[in-house]
């Protein structure tokens, strides 16, 4: 679960638009998991919503976690 949230946070750095982010991540994760983890990240204030469709890591509130080695290749695929 933490790996999924970490991957999503790093993917947000590449794709701020929620629709594009979900589309890219669907190759790796089920859409239901993506949306559930996004809701969790927003609820815990690690990610914030800017306007109706833009997502941003809330680095003023929490630091971005370290990216584990096994997730680096997945991040490069998206």
Q: Domain 2-77: give its CATH code.
A: 1.10.10
pLDDT value of residue 1: 61
Q: Which residues contact 42 (CB under 8 A, 6 or more apart)?
A: 48, 49
Q: In terms of pTM, does the model score above 0.85?
A: yes
Q: What angle do CA 29, 34, 36 make, to 5 degrees?
A: 135
β-pair partners for 17? 54
Q: Which of 62, 64, 72 is nearest to 12 (CA)?
A: 64
- Mean pLDDT (whole number) for 50-64: 87
**b/e 44-64 (16+ beta carbons within 10 angstroms → b):** eebbeeeeeeebebbeeeeee
pLDDT value of residue 62: 79
pLDDT digit string, tens, across residues 19-53: 999 999 998 999 999 999 999 999 999 999 998 89
């Amino acid at each position: 679960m933490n790996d999924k949230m970490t991957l999503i946070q790093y993917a947000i750095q590449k794709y701020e638009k929620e629709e594009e982010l979900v589309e890219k991540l669907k190759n790796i994760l089920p859409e239901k998991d993506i949306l559930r983890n996004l809701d969790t990240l927003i609820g815990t204030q690690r990610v914030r919503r800017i306007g109706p469709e833009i997502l941003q890591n809330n680095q003023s509130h929490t630091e971005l976690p370290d990216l584990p080695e096994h997730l680096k290749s997945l991040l490069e695929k998206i």
